Amino acid sequence: MKIERIRGGVSLRRTIESGTEEQRRAVLDIIAAVRVRGDAALKEYTERFDGVKLDSLKVTEEEMKRAHAAMDAEMLEIIRQAAANIRDYHKRQKRESWWMTKEDGTILGQKVTPLDAVGLYVPGGTAAYPSSVLMNVIPAQVAGVKRIVITSPPNKDGTLPAGVLAAAYELGVTEIYKVGGAQAIAALAYGTETIRPVDKIFGPGNIYVALAKREVFGHVAIDMIAGPSEIVVLADETARPDEIAADLLSQAEHDVRASAILVTPSMKLALAVASEVERQLETLPRRDIAQAALENYGAIYVTETLEEAVDVVNELAPEHLEVMTAEPLALFGRLRHAGAMFFGRFSSEPVGDYFAGPNHVLPTNGTARFSSGLSVDEFVKKSSVIVYSETALKQHGDKIAAFARLEGLEAHARAIEVRLEKGE
């Protein structure tokens, strides 16, 4: 890894893949076809892109039961424990509707309503993502969403990954479809004969999925357009090089565009970590991916002081931040921007990915400066409630009418005055 002395001015912001014009046209064509031809288009694209000819798009209850029964008992218990931790954490985020009554009899409040239906896209390919099922489904359930739909591209044999089905079965999600790509996003947004539309779409995917989510946004809501994974480790001379290297590689192995950065005031630590990364790379199964990520988006930044290192971290605003210093929590107040913060040597980033409880769906590309990770709030909407009293309207009506006329909206003013018996 390259080592660089730095005083600030660094950024994780990278160009978000917007796709080529050819890819965007292809996505628009797919969306149009699904809107017009429904299930027939979904089956045609599934055969063309996934190599599977399906008679039915929906996963049967029998398929789910088989996948659940085939899951190793010990692994199933781990999933249950992780789910319990995630549910407990997210229950503490839940907001309730509230009301306040003023002395003049006016009632003001906010009504919190769960979304009616949400869709979760689970990527396919060689990997399965049961953790993503837990992280998306559980906050939706805590929020009170009644209909949760999962779509995922099928394997060559027409099945979905057993881990995904087992996790969904554990959570009681039964509406799952063997559909991937842009066509799945179109189906979730507009509906087909088999798949009823949802109100909001969650989950990552390839460039075609990302482009499709952008195109349907506005007709439905989406969670985010996530970029490559990121980790920044803030460490001083007390940290262990082997642990830092392992944590940097835990993100670098995700994707060739993943970012892994160490920020430290210790040149000694920087050199030791660089050496340790090379040593650990030798036996890493996904070595080629991790090495490419480190070469293009990895770095070790050395500052003069720990205070400067904190400033650099805040400028980076990473998806994941690990603090491995002599007194990590002493820096809590100064650290402002990160999707998730991990304090102390035992709080390795994978703890958050799988088991601790907080959500692992987090802002990337420096957007942690202004956005947050997935939470129960993403699965509800809020309505303002106004019950204005006659006393309050008589007291403030003239002011409201005056404000309306300031903006040139006479009808607004008259709508108030007619109730004050001043209108013509």
Question: Which residues are catalytically annotated?
Answer: 319-320
Q: Read off the amino acid at residue 203.
A: G
Q: What angle do CA 64, 70, 76 make, to 5 degrees?
A: 90
Residue with tokens 């014009």: 21
* Annotation: binding site for Zn(2+): 251, 254, 353, 412
Please name the amino acid found at residue 190: Y
Q: Which residues contact 290 (CB under 8 A, 6 or more apart)?
A: 249, 252, 253, 281, 284
Summarize the annotated binding site for NAD(+) as residue ranges: 121, 183, 206
Cα R_g (the chain), whole angstroms: 26
CA distance 142 to 374: 13
| Binding-site positions | 121, 183, 206, 229, 251, 254, 320, 353, 407, 412
Residues in the chain: 424
Reduce the DSSP state of residue 276 to 3 states and report it. helix
Distance between CA atoms of residues 207 and 265, nearest Å? 38
Contacts of residue 9, defined as CB under 8 A and 6 or more positions apart, other chains included, come to: 315
Calpha distance 107→130 (Å, rounded): 45
